[in-house]
Structure 1
């Protein structure tokens, strides 16, 4: 008789005359098993081993607006893999969408924000991006995958959805520019602990690392390049970056 379908043990009793024998089969996380001998049956051979079920977190498609235990398990799995979320509250809101986008970017799959079979497989496989640096405390901006990574001695600790320079032309103060985020190794040299107004709009709690280019919070952070050159993250993600101390003055920022 199966006692639990998640993280417990299945036991069965099938015995001869006065002999009592029990076996426990460990279930992997997310696995579901049901196995029991027929009541009153007397086996003539030892019970077969249960096949190890594949790791699966979810049984249905999940998307923004959903809620409940399956969403909470999704959130916890994302957090366990390093994709930043403030909490696992069972509500599929904007921050969960950003974390799903980040996972999809790391996996190289469609950035639709929907947790369907392909995205579930990426979760099952434990997809995580890798760092380019191997030492020190660094914030890496991956332009190709549009990810912002918080890295410690080569280990990726947190992964954020980001949106960098769109590559489009724009005009500012009567001059033509191209919206790019230049590659290179920089240091944070100035920050503003507030909304910082500028000619192209206000930036939330910006950390400037290259002229007027900053990592900053913004109300719109799509899963593709859309900024004038800065690296956008969500408002709450920017709050975390400030509070974590990982983007203090002189912190290293690698754009790659």
Structure 2
């Protein structure tokens, strides 16, 4: 937390004496009063409500009666004395620089900004790398441990927050970090074979092998709203049930309803497919298909494999 140092500004106060000593004493008193009342005060800076501003110690103002102890000044003495000029080095030695550097001896070192107690998008640090490694070890889809919180890491954090029933904001605070430390992962619904499971309630895609979850992928399915396409009205639902991959398109595929592009889709019922997308939010947002990141879709195609006939269970 950055603390803003407050400042307390002491106003000058003049004191009017009862006795005036001679014409020159009156002039000196008048000058003293004008100097005390005529200066502009600098407005105080706003202080952080959590920081108490130190109170400046008022400088005592001499009263007009104090000169009574000294003889009345002459006209020449009433003029201000010229300040003595500071000696300057004549030979370019270090004496002058040492004298100037003395001003910095009492200066406070600038405080380093506090490291936030959470991790969020854009951070580059070792603790991001540790988070990435932990997510990868737990099976969340993340390919690179590079200490940089980018889009892929955000997708994995979304998936972790969904699995743990946490708020899906991509920010790793105490609860999300605890979920990672505790090894929170979703459990498979199937027990045998190689199955692509789609959890609609938690918006996750699970790659499952004989009941063991090998990858947890952030997903976004149908948002349930109605929409118009080619003159017809549809509802953006993702059907639940047991299906199987029946068709694959290894390319950027254009929707037949002119709803946009799908990266390497794998269709499992009608026009509904699991496909890659550049936009996979933490909430349902599609027209009925199941979106995953393009990188995750490449992994399904090239590493895990989901050929025709692969079971797809949506619940």
TM, length-normalised to structure 1: 0.76
Q: Relative contact order (alpha carbons < 8 A, sep ≥ 6): 1 or 2 greater?
A: 1
- Residue equivalent to 2:301: 242
**Match among 176, 179, 183 for residue 119 of structure 1:** 176
SS at match of 2:158: helix
SS at match of 2:155: helix
How big is each residue's C-alpha offset from its partner over 1:110-142, in whole Å with a ceiling of 9 and x where there is no partner? 001001111011111110000100111001000
Structure ID, larger Rg: 2
- Is contact 1:139-1:246 (8 Å) kept? no
| Structure (1/2) with the larger strand percentage | 1
User: In the aligned structure 2, how far is the partner of 1:74 from the partner of 1:217?
Assistant: 24
The 5-angstrom pairing of residues 130-141 of structure 1 reads: 130-141=187-198
SS at match of 1:84: coil
The 5-angstrom pairing of residues 74-93 of structure 1 reads: 74-93=131-150
SS at match of 1:151: strand
User: In the aligned structure 1, how far is the partner of 2:286 from the partner of 2:301?
Assistant: 21
Unaligned 5+ segments in structure 2 are: 1-115
How big is each residue's C-alpha offset from its partner over 1:74-113, in whole Å with a ceiling of 9 and x where there is no partner? 0000011110101111110000000000000000010010
2:158 aligned with 1:104: no
- Is contact 1:137-1:246 (8 Å) kept? no
SS at match of 1:77: helix
- Residue equivalent to 1:226: 285
SS at match of 1:216: strand
TM, length-normalised to structure 2: 0.62
Unaligned 5+ segments in structure 1 are: 1-58
SS at match of 1:186: strand
**Match among 201, 204, 213 for residue 263 of structure 2:** 204
| Structure (1/2) with the larger helix percentage | 2
SS at match of 2:312: strand
After TM superposition, give the deviation of residue 245 of structure 1 in Å: 3.8
After TM superposition, give the deviation of residue 248 of structure 1 in Å: 1.5
- Residue equivalent to 2:229: 172
- Is contact 1:203-1:216 (8 Å) kept? yes
Worse-superposed segment, 114-123 or 240-249: 240-249
2:206 aligned with 1:149: yes
- Residue equivalent to 1:21: none
SS at match of 1:242: helix
User: In the aligned structure 1, how far is the partner of 2:287 from the partner of 2:201?
Assistant: 16
- Is contact 1:101-1:111 (8 Å) kept? yes
How many residue pairs get matched?
A: 199
CA RMSD of aligned residues (A): 1.3
2:239 aligned with 1:192: no
